[in-house]
Amino acid sequence: MSNNKTILAIEEKPLIARRLAVVPTTNCTLNCRLCGDFLFTGGGVERRDIPFEDVCRDIDACFDLFDHVEWLQFVGGEVYIYSDFAKLIRYVEKYNNRFNKLVIETNATIAPNADEQAAMLAYGEKLFVFISNYGDNSYEREMFIKFLSENNIGYSLKKYHGKDQYYNGWIDNTIPRDLKEPGDVLEVNSKNCPQNRIKNMHVYDGKLHRCSNSCFMLEMGLFLPKERDFVNLRDNLISREEKREILNEFYDYARQSCRYCKQKYMAVLPRFPAAEQM
């Protein structure tokens, strides 16, 4: 009897996603030289839209796996370039009681159209918008801020132009190569990686990764993934329990991408002006 109780307790432990970032598109309005997602010309990641139905399928799969999501995020590329973005914002309303905040990240090069504005307003105070403020490149920033302010939608402006840039600007992680860290060193460094510590997750084209670098370095074809590098959301041969088991240990071990990625040293790496256009 007590054994049964123990098993039940383990099975019922809720699985919470702290930050679940969904990427509906890698298309972007800008062409940043140091783009962390390798979306600059020649960066190795193809710019493309993920079909609306596929994005919805991946979101459904995530909400099947997670009991709760703290922040459900839409990130790009640039999300307002995605023609089905209003539909997507409306689609996740069905999970409204399963997440705490809907977060949108944008470069403010495009202001939301009327349909997107209406979809956003349905979330009231639950919506939060992170604007990367690239100065003159964020052409629609003022219009965007006016809309958010007038409707009491929370937002933050990360200053990425001129002096005193957010985090002193960007690091250069653009030419990934094998850093040849010994296995145990790699494991420790990867565990301490800031991206790992914030417990982010990245969903792109059917795959759930723990960070954007794992996602996009794989997209670049830099390496073959090792087992458990990501959860294949569209593979029905892997059971829900097996996927949840992987997710329970998601932040415990290094990915193939960690071998190539300098993000784990970001605290000591030189900084460069953000969003310089090619």
Give me the residues that bind ligand SF4 (CB under 6 A), please.
190, 193, 195-196, 211, 213-214, 255, 257-258, 261, 263-264
Distance CA 85, CA 106 (A): 12
Phi first, then psi: give them for residue 129, nearest 5 degrees.
-120, 125
Q: Which amino acid is at 196?
A: N
Three-state DSSP state, 107: coil
Nearer CB in complex with ligand SF4: 121/266 = 266
Distance CA 121, CA 263 (A): 35
Least separation, in Å, of the C-beta of 261 and ligand SF4?
A: 3
Q: How many CB atoms lie within 10 A of CB 171?
A: 19
- Reference 76, options 22, 135, 144; nearest CA is 22
Burial of 95 (C-beta count, 10 Å sphere; 0-12/13-18/19+): middle
Least separation, in Å, of the C-beta of 190 and ligand SF4?
A: 5
Nearer CB in complex with ligand SF4: 109/263 = 263
Least separation, in Å, of the C-beta of 115 and ligand SF4?
A: 35
Nearer CB in complex with ligand SF4: 109/213 = 213
Least separation, in Å, of the C-beta of 172 and ligand SF4?
A: 14
Nearer CB in complex with ligand SF4: 13/197 = 197
Distance CA 235, CA 61 (A): 10
Residues 6+ apart with CB under 8 A from 21: 73, 74, 75, 200, 201, 202, 203, 212
Q: How many CB atoms lie within 10 A of CB 165?
A: 20
Nearer CB in complex with ligand SF4: 75/258 = 258
Least separation, in Å, of the C-beta of 171 and ligand SF4?
A: 11
Least separation, in Å, of the C-beta of 195 and ligand SF4?
A: 4
Nearer CB in complex with ligand SF4: 122/185 = 185
**Backbone dihedral region for residue 124 (phi beyond 0: left; psi -120 to 50: alpha; all else: beta):** left
Nearer CB in complex with ligand SF4: 148/261 = 261
Least separation, in Å, of the C-beta of 201 and ligand SF4?
A: 11
